[in-house]
């Protein structure tokens, strides 16, 4: 599984996503990951990549619900 956390400069967010994914009951779907992160990040959205031919399943984790955002 490959996770792409956006914004990429938010290390705290990426760390939290990693903690959820390596916990006792890691999410098995984008919806489950989104649900687990929602209490701390109420705008979070998680989407599985729809690109064909990817060797590794990839999920995009949007802290603010979409891309782009204001810095």
pLDDT tens figures, 2-32: 999 999 999 999 999 999 999 999 999 999 9
14 close to 5: Cβ distance less than 8 angstroms:
yes
Instruction: Provide the pLDDT for residue 69.
Output: 53
**CA gap 3, 70 in Å, rounded:** 22
Q: Give the model's pLDDT for residue 49.
A: 92
pLDDT tens by residue, 41-69: 999 999 999 887 778 889 999 999 987 65
Structure tokens at 38: 């929602």
| Extended beta strands in the chain, E state | 2-6, 45-48, 58-62
């Amino acid at each position: 599984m490959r996770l792409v956390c956006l914004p990429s400069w938010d290390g705290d967010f990426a760390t939290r996503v990693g903690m959820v994914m390596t916990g006792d009951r890691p999410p098995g779907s984008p919806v489950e990951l989104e649900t687990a992160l929602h209490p701390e990040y109420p705008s979070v959205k998680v989407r599985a990549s729809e690109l064909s031919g990817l060797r590794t399943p990839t999920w995009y984790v949007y802290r603010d619900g979409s891309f782009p955002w204001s810095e």
